[in-house]
Each structure stands twice: as C-alpha cells, then as structure tokens.
Structure 1
C-alpha cells in the first residue's frame, strides 16, 4: 500500500466529483426524459458543489494538515465510478439515484478510513466535516429522487 497526503486525498475527491459531474452533464445531452434530465441537472450541480468544496477546503486548511500522510493509494477514477457504467439515456430516476449514492458511499468510506488514521485533531475535524458534507449531500439526493414523481 502506498501513502498520500491529505492534499492528495482532497485532490482525488475533487477530480472524482468533477468526473461524475461531467458524466451527468453528458447524459443530459442524450436523454429525452424530462424527470431524468431534471435529476441529472440536480446531480451535476451536487457534484459541482462538492468539487468546489474540495478546492475551498484546500485553501482554508493549514499546510500542516494538508501535508499529513495517510495510507491511501488513489485508485483510478473510473474504478471509483464503476457504478456509472450503468448510466444510459433510458435510465430511471431510481437507478440514477442508486448510482449517485454509490459514489457518495465510496467517498464516505474513504473519509472514514482517513478519520480512523488521523493523527491530529485538525485532520480528524477535516474528515469529520467531509463525512458530514457527503452525508448531507447524500440526503439531498435521496429527497430529490423521492420527490421526482412530483416534478
């Protein structure tokens, strides 16, 4: 297993969110279904918000925390997004929500791993905040999927 800094983990998360956002935006161009398009628009905005949050966190976290090492080997973005292989223009809102939740769960698991290895209070706080952010966004996704029938 290799090691990465907290900055590397944040950068990996940013790229993952940007890649997911781009996938959702591309699928929006292909779908003819209004509800799916609305859900894709919401998910793309969700991923964009999270990507921007990663950049903001890097700017506001101390260099000491950013340079902290963790046992983490960033896998390929495509491996992390393997659930996105299920994306197709005729996907249902429920299937789309499941794919989005897989991405959130993947990152929550990563952040929990980082939290368990954190050596300082500041890095523990960062990973707790990241977990809370992902869980909050995950709940927004679930609520959007549940209310899709009202659109």
Structure 2
C-alpha cells in the first residue's frame, strides 16, 4: 500500500468525476433515444457538479489538511469505472443509473475508509463531508431515475 496526500485523493476524485462526465457526454452524442439522452445529460451534470466540488475543496481547504499523508493507493480510473466496459449508446436508463451508482458507491466507500483512518479531526471531517455529499448526490440520481418513467 502506498501513501498519498489529501490533495492527491481530491485530485483523483476530481479526475474520476471528469472522466465519468466525459463518458456520459460521448454517449449522448451517439444515442438516438430521447429518454436515454435526458438521463445522460442529468448524469453528466451530476458528475460536473461533483468535479467542481472537488475543485472548490482544493481552494477552500487548508494547506495543512491538503498536505496530510494517508494510506491510499489510487487505482486506475478505468478500474473505478469498471462497469463502463459495457457502455454503448443503446444502454437503458436503468443500466446507466446502475453505472452511476457504482461510481458513487466506490467513492462513498473510499471516503468512509479515509475518514476512519484519518489522524486529524480536520481531515476526518473533510472525508465524512465528502461521503455525505456523494450520498446526497446518489439519492438525487436515484430519484431522477425513478422519475425517468414519467418522461
């Protein structure tokens, strides 16, 4: 296991969200189905919001916290997006939501693990807040998926 700073973890999370956003945007360009396009647009906006949140955290978190070392070995973004191997423009709304929830679950698990292993209260609070943010966004995604049947 290697070590990374809090900044490295935030960078990794931001890159993951940006990669997922780009994937959804690419799929939007290829799909012909209106409901799928609407869900892809919503998911791209979801990932964009979270990527911007990571950027804001960089700017508003103390250098002391950002430079803290934690036991974390960032995996490849492709591994985190493992469910996207089957991504194609003809995915159903349910399949898209399943992929989005896998990404959220991956990050929630990561942030909870980081919070449980944090040595300072400030970094513990940061990772707990990130886990809560991901959970809130996950709930929004699920609600949007449930309402997709009304579109």
**Which moves more between the two structures, 82-91 or 100-109?**
82-91
Alpha-carbon distance between aligned partners in 2 of 1:77 and 1:138, rounded to the nearest angstrom: 19
| 1:58-80 Cα shifts (integer Å, max 9, x gaps) | 11001111011111011111111
The Cα RMSD (Å) is 0.6
Matching of residue 19 in structure 1 with residue 19 in structure 2: yes
User: What is residue 66 of structure 1 aligned with on the other side?
Assistant: 66
Alpha-carbon distance between aligned partners in 2 of 1:117 and 1:64, rounded to the nearest angstrom: 17
Tell me the secondary structure at the aligned position of residue 89 of structure 2.
coil
How many residue pairs are counted as aligned between the two chains? 151
Q: CA deviation at 1:86?
A: 2.1
User: What is residue 112 of structure 1 aligned with on the other side?
Assistant: 112
Tell me the secondary structure at the aligned position of residue 74 of structure 1.
coil
For structure 2, which runs of at least 5 residues remain unmatched after alignment? none
Alpha-carbon distance between aligned partners in 1 of 2:80 and 2:65, rounded to the nearest angstrom: 25
User: What is residue 29 of structure 1 aligned with on the other side?
Assistant: 29
Q: CA deviation at 1:84?
A: 1.1
Q: Under a length normalisation based on structure 2, what TM-score does the superposition of the two structures give?
A: 0.99
User: What is residue 140 of structure 1 aligned with on the other side?
Assistant: 140
For structure 1, which runs of at least 5 residues remain unmatched after alignment? none
